[in-house]
A and B are shown apart, each in its own frame.
Chain A
Amino acid sequence: MVSNMEKRKIRELIGKEFIVFDGGFGSQLQARGVKAGENSALINIKNPELVTAIHADYLNAGSICLTTNTFGADSFHIESEEELGTIISAAIDNAYKAIEQTGKDAYVFYDMAPTGKLLKPLGDLDFEDAYEVFAQQVRLAAATNRIDGFIVETFTDLYEMKAAILAVKENSDLPIISSVTYSENGNMLTGASPVQVVTVLEGLGVDMMAVNCSLGPKELLPIVQKMLDVAVLPILVQPNAGLPVFENGETKFLVGPEEFSEYIGKLIDSGVAGFGGCCGTTPDHIKASCDVAKDHAFAYAPKAQKTRVTGTTTCVEIGPRVMRCGERLNPTGKKKMKLALAEHRLYDIVDEGVAQVDAGADVLDVNVGVPGIDETGVMTELVQLLQEVIDVPLQIDSTNFETLEQACRIYNGVPLINSVNGKREVMDAVFPIVKKYGGVVLGLCIDEDGIPPTAEERFEIAMRIVNEAAKYGIPKERIIIDSLVLTASAQQKEVIETAKCVGFVTERLGIGTALGLSNVSFGLPNRPLINRTFLVMALYAGLKMPILNPLDKELMGAIDAFEVLNNSDANAEDYISKHVNDVTTTAAAATPAAPTSAPSGEGALEGSDLFVAIVKGQKHNAVEAVKKMTDVAPLDIVSEHLIPALDKVGQDYDKGKIFLPQLMTSAETSKLVFDEIKDKLVSDDGSEKKGPIVIATVEADVHDIGKNIVKVVLQSYGFDVIDLGKDVKADVIVEAVKEHKPIAVGLSALMTTTVVFMEKTIKALKEAGLNVPVFCGGAVLTQDVCDNIGGDYYTKDAMDSVRVCEKFQAEKNGDK
């Protein structure tokens, strides 16, 4: 055995010779008598000899790296830190005993497994809570001073992997191997592609990337190849012994050592730098693989560094094609967004982000810099909300270093970071963040002396940024230079210098460039024209990522056209698909035509603007229309416009001409109109509102969509609806009826299993002596079911509910 002093550091071997790990451990424990489902980490104490024996068998088979038997040794499975420390220590001891017994030299890697829980937003576990589960293990394992590194393995979610990697890096300086698991579709469970995996793991600065479990070597080969095609760092592969097969009630792995090792040979030829095995593999699989490896040359060759960032399930490379970065999530000059931020209406901002992605943005800039708000708190919350619904990469934009750091930390993936510049203080603060969290940083050509007037001077700042980054080990490909756009109306001669600097950075440094376009046109008429023209100039100079308004179709179209003319869009495929239906405006057609009357014939809608707006569900138009009707009595608005429009929509729905959602949008529109006039309505004629009607989804049923539909439509017909919500117990409904004295009660249930609660509610109402009609609806309801449970009326849909309630209303009015 070689002592630790003489042993070369594992970091010296990685990427230079084969790193041979061990094979399946859990499956070996089970093969040697441990029951499936038992926490295997406990075996370190219960039966240390067994654990040592497995390690020893792998060492004899040729493994040079042992994985400690600590899969599942975390605070979720073992609560007491003391016990956890004892188990971790025992696991490391067991590995060392095997080294002593066999006299083989080996490295001991602490094995860290996923928590078994999903991180938010897919699950409930907070990122920082996951981090702490890993950090505790790292501290306990590193404190033994007996491990050579960490292998973080079988991760199905890159976000959780990020938490584990940060935990290792912040609590030890030992090497880390990060091993992900792919599903059969070739992506990770949470959707990350192989290229995305490489981008994130390399960005986070691991020592070696790895793939293990889930699939056999044959199935992993094409997936690993995709990683190898782009990987700078070496890759370790530890496949299962084939795909699991279900036989006689048991899950089995059928690929034997010979077939397994044959594929290991192929993987080595493709360039993997290490191998081992996972579920179902045995010391024989490792021995056979070591034998095969002797006949295959070590073929690891790092690929060229590229400029890539990732979203939750996307990976974008900046360079081959123009990337469109959406600029609209920035409060500068945007009153609505400022207000939304001040009022913490972050979902409105998310919607703006969605609109930009729909309009073709590849990346979204996110800036929340408004005075008086907690910028870091809002930024981290917004980044998480955006990543729930948007999978394109985000560009975290702040001048507050704490905000940048916290947003980069919580970000799922490796982001664009906006920005660093030539100022010493800024470089000292931002580069450590870029180094730690990965990603690509925008370098602005500005320093302590401001923005230089000439292209050469700005390029000098770009060089300074790149050189300073190199000191942190950040390659130039992780920097995009922004030459900064000045306003043509104020600094006209300097605009062209910006474009020139783009050219210098592209040609001399060979890295990407970004520009925020909109500034250029400030103070000039027809700003879009100036923006568009400057965009094309800058693209021709080499601009790779314009930061622009993706909702400006002409601007976005200019990029599409440029990519055809620049030969980037092969066969103009993208251009054609996007613009095939464009209507081009000729000079003659562009002449303003005389206003035309509303279209006539089939499908045309005749009636007042208000009538048309309600029928079409155009909320804004409807409100505007009713505001203009100052000379029409409110009651007439209701009887001559609103009700006829709703009747038309209701008839169209009954005839199957429109969707239910269209009916609802019209209903909501009419409700807005009603809200607009209701004050005057009451004062005008003193008439009472219709209803009230109490509605609820019954106990044990949390499906409230159907009930909500009925509510919206009833309200649009002027009914006062008291909505008790979902999962409402019978006694609550009884009390509500006593309190509000409704003209009817509507009950909804979606499932057969909850219809019983509907029956219970109806009985309770009767027993309480409340003589109120009950109408019942829901997916499983039929007339028969309704009759059986004692309901008074079965309503098949929302319009049916309206008809029934109108009947109750008429009865009520008749009673008066």
Chain B
Amino acid sequence: MIELSHLEQRAIRYLNYKGDVTEEQVELLRNAMNDMKRVSRPQFVVRYLSLQEDNSGHLFVDAPVNISFDSLQKLFRSKDSDSLCILVSTLGPAVDKRTSLLAERDAGKMVLFDACANAYIEEVTNDYQKKLNLGGETFRFAPGYGDVPLSIQREIFDFMPEIGRIGIELDESNLMHPFKSMTGFIGFKSGK
């Protein structure tokens, strides 16, 4: 049985692969992972906000970011959050460039590279989140899921101009460029 790191296992999950890995596959994976890590430049920005309650019991923040959606309200209620952390991360543009280059030349390598990048952004963002030591935190909720529309990205980007500082831009469809970027809402208890 070949021992795989947490990151490698995650990449294999992204490949939707459930079988036992062979040495050949591990070599393919590790080469792709090294290739991907060489071009990644993980960057993060974070903003904290107090969660407040209006007369009808809805949570809101004193910022132009609409958190009235059920998914978010339930998320924050689930852990009695009193604060909100907005965490934005990216692997940088070189990962996208390499992906496009591989797509032209070797689609197999591209898919492997892409899976590694997906695993890596998840992993580095988790590691960064841990270091924030938020306390009593919810899971990280990304816009575009549940009833939270992707248009909320625009609100986040307008509210947090520092996101531009780590090189992420939004396009007309509210998608982030570089692609390997994440936005997440995390509820937490600031007192803890």
Tell me the A residues contacting B by CB distance below 8 Å. 116-118, 121-124, 156, 184, 189-191, 246-249, 251, 313, 347, 354, 357-358, 388-391, 617, 655-668, 700-703, 705, 708-709, 712, 727, 751-753, 797
Do the beta carbons of A354 and B38 come within 8 Å of each other? yes
Do the beta carbons of A662 and B16 come within 8 Å of each other? no
Contact of A700 among B12, B35, B173 (CB under 8 A): B173
Q: Which residues of A contact B161 (CB under 8 A)?
A: 116
Given A191-B41, A389-B98, A703-B179, A659-B112 contact (CB < 8 Å): yes
Q: Which residues of B contact A712 (CB under 8 A)?
A: 107
A-B contact count (CB 8 A): 126
Do the beta carbons of B28 and A709 come within 8 Å of each other? no
- Min CB distance, B59 to chain A, in Å? 14
Given A617-B108, A709-B107, A249-B19 contact (CB < 8 Å): no
* Residue B64 interfacial (CB < 8 Å): no
Alpha-carbon distance between A123 and B164 when the two chains are bound, in angstroms: 8
* Residue B156 interfacial (CB < 8 Å): no
Alpha-carbon distance between A156 and B43 when the two chains are bound, in angstroms: 12
Do the beta carbons of B107 and A664 come within 8 Å of each other? yes
Contact of B190 among A246, A313, A708 (CB under 8 A): A246
Do the beta carbons of A122 and B41 come within 8 Å of each other? yes
- Min CB distance, B142 to chain A, in Å? 10
Q: Which residues of B contact A657 (CB under 8 A)?
A: 19
Do the beta carbons of B92 and A122 come within 8 Å of each other? yes
Contact of B173 among A191, A705, A727 (CB under 8 A): A727
Do the beta carbons of A656 and B106 come within 8 Å of each other? no
- Min CB distance, A324 to chain B, in Å? 17
Do the beta carbons of A751 and B144 come within 8 Å of each other? yes
0/1 interface trace, chain B 80-113, chain A, CB 8 Å (1 if under):
0001000000001110011101010011111110
Contact of B150 among A358, A709, A753 (CB under 8 A): A753
Alpha-carbon distance between A175 and B29 when the two chains are bound, in angstroms: 51
- Min CB distance, A61 to chain B, in Å? 30
Most buried by A among B32, B94, B165: B165
Contact of A665 among B19, B108, B179 (CB under 8 A): B108
Q: Which residues of A contact B35 (CB under 8 A)?
A: 354
**10 chain-A/chain-B pairs, Cβ below 8 angstroms:** A191-B41, A249-B49, A313-B41, A389-B98, A660-B16, A660-B17, A665-B108, A665-B109, A702-B171, A751-B150
Given A246-B190, A668-B108, A389-B17 contact (CB < 8 Å): no
* Residue B175 interfacial (CB < 8 Å): yes
Do the beta carbons of B103 and A708 come within 8 Å of each other? yes
* Residue B50 interfacial (CB < 8 Å): yes
Instruction: Please name the residue on chain A nearest to B177 by beta carbon.
Output: A702
- Min CB distance, A559 to chain B, in Å? 22
Contact of A705 among B101, B110, B145 (CB under 8 A): B110
Alpha-carbon distance between A193 and B107 when the two chains are bound, in angstroms: 35
Given A249-B49, A656-B19, A753-B149, A664-B41 contact (CB < 8 Å): no
Do the beta carbons of B94 and A656 come within 8 Å of each other? no
- Min CB distance, A127 to chain B, in Å? 15
Top-10 shortest CB links A-B: A656-B19, A665-B108, A664-B108, A249-B50, A661-B108, A661-B112, A123-B167, A700-B173, A118-B167, A246-B48
Q: Which residues of A contact B107 (CB under 8 A)?
A: 664-665, 667-668, 708-709, 712
Q: Which residues of B contact A705 (CB under 8 A)?
A: 99, 103, 110-111, 114
Do the beta carbons of A661 and B49 come within 8 Å of each other? no
Given A661-B109, A751-B144, A189-B43 contact (CB < 8 Å): yes
- Min CB distance, A343 to chain B, in Å? 15
0/1 interface trace, chain B 1-40, chain A, CB 8 Å (1 if under):
0000000000010011111000001001100101100110
Alpha-carbon distance between A514 and B111 when the two chains are bound, in angstroms: 41
Do the beta carbons of B34 and A358 come within 8 Å of each other? yes
Contact of B111 among A656, A660, A700 (CB under 8 A): A660
Q: Which residues of B contact A658 (CB under 8 A)?
A: 19, 25
Q: Which residues of B contact A247 (CB under 8 A)?
A: 190
Do the beta carbons of B38 and A391 come within 8 Å of each other? yes
Given A347-B101, A354-B35, A659-B28, A122-B167 contact (CB < 8 Å): yes
* Residue B62 interfacial (CB < 8 Å): yes
* Residue B166 interfacial (CB < 8 Å): yes
Instruction: Please name the residue on chain B nearest to A114 by beta carbon.
Output: B165
Q: Which residues of A contact B166 (CB under 8 A)?
A: 118, 189
Q: Which residues of B contact A184 (CB under 8 A)?
A: 131
Q: Which residues of A contact B173 (CB under 8 A)?
A: 700-702, 727
Identify 11 new A-B residue pairs, CB closer than 8 A, beyond the known A190-B41, A388-B39, A667-B107: A248-B50, A388-B94, A389-B98, A658-B25, A659-B29, A660-B16, A660-B17, A661-B15, A665-B106, A667-B108, A701-B173
Given A246-B48, A388-B97, A662-B108 contact (CB < 8 Å): yes
**Which residues of B (27-80) have their CB < 8 Å from a CB of A?**
28-29, 32, 34-35, 38-39, 41, 43, 48-50, 62
Do the beta carbons of B111 and A249 come within 8 Å of each other? no
We find that the number of chain B residues with CB closer than 8 angstroms to chain A is 54
- Min CB distance, A600 to chain B, in Å? 18
Alpha-carbon distance between A663 and B107 when the two chains are bound, in angstroms: 10
Alpha-carbon distance between A705 and B106 when the two chains are bound, in angstroms: 12
Do the beta carbons of A664 and B43 come within 8 Å of each other? no
Alpha-carbon distance between A797 and B135 when the two chains are bound, in angstroms: 40
Alpha-carbon distance between A752 and B146 when the two chains are bound, in angstroms: 8
Q: Which residues of A contact B25 (CB under 8 A)?
A: 658-659, 662
Instruction: Please name the residue on chain A nearest to B108 by beta carbon.
Output: A665
Most buried by A among B112, B161, B175: B175
Alpha-carbon distance between A156 and B175 when the two chains are bound, in angstroms: 26
Alpha-carbon distance between A294 and B169 when the two chains are bound, in angstroms: 50
Alpha-carbon distance between A121 and B40 when the two chains are bound, in angstroms: 12
Given A122-B41, A656-B19, A660-B16, A117-B164 contact (CB < 8 Å): yes
Q: Which residues of A contact B131 (CB under 8 A)?
A: 184
Most buried by A among B99, B145, B150, B167: B167
Instruction: Please name the residue on chain B nearest to A117 by beta carbon.
Output: B164
Alpha-carbon distance between A368 and B159 when the two chains are bound, in angstroms: 46
Do the beta carbons of B17 and A117 come within 8 Å of each other? no
Alpha-carbon distance between A664 and B12 when the two chains are bound, in angstroms: 16
- Min CB distance, B55 to chain A, in Å? 19
Q: Which residues of A contact B97 (CB under 8 A)?
A: 121, 388
Alpha-carbon distance between A660 and B107 when the two chains are bound, in angstroms: 10
Instruction: Please name the residue on chain B nearest to A246 by beta carbon.
Output: B48
- Min CB distance, A68 to chain B, in Å? 23
0/1 interface trace, chain B 112-150, chain A, CB 8 Å (1 if under):
101100000000000000010000000000001100011
Alpha-carbon distance between A75 and B18 when the two chains are bound, in angstroms: 55
- Min CB distance, B176 to chain A, in Å? 10
Alpha-carbon distance between A702 and B174 when the two chains are bound, in angstroms: 11
Given A246-B48, A655-B19, A660-B15, A116-B94 contact (CB < 8 Å): no
- Min CB distance, A646 to chain B, in Å? 14
Given A354-B35, A656-B17, A121-B94 contact (CB < 8 Å): yes
Instruction: Please name the residue on chain A nearest to B98 by beta carbon.
Output: A389
Q: Which residues of B contact A702 (CB under 8 A)?
A: 171, 173, 175, 179
Given A117-B165, A122-B167, A660-B15, A753-B144 contact (CB < 8 Å): yes
Do the beta carbons of B111 and A709 come within 8 Å of each other? yes
Instruction: Please name the residue on chain A nearest to B90 by beta carbon.
Output: A122
Q: Which residues of B contact A156 (CB under 8 A)?
A: 165
Do the beta carbons of A116 and B164 come within 8 Å of each other? yes
- Min CB distance, B132 to chain A, in Å? 10
- Min CB distance, B156 to chain A, in Å? 15
- Min CB distance, B170 to chain A, in Å? 12
Q: Which residues of B contact A659 (CB under 8 A)?
A: 12, 15, 17, 25, 28-29, 112
Alpha-carbon distance between A389 and B106 when the two chains are bound, in angstroms: 18
Alpha-carbon distance between A317 and B184 when the two chains are bound, in angstroms: 41
Alpha-carbon distance between A354 and B92 when the two chains are bound, in angstroms: 18
Given A658-B25, A702-B175, A797-B16, A664-B111 contact (CB < 8 Å): yes
Alpha-carbon distance between A249 and B97 when the two chains are bound, in angstroms: 39
Alpha-carbon distance between A433 and B32 when the two chains are bound, in angstroms: 38
- Min CB distance, A126 to chain B, in Å? 14
Q: Which residues of A contact B29 (CB under 8 A)?
A: 659
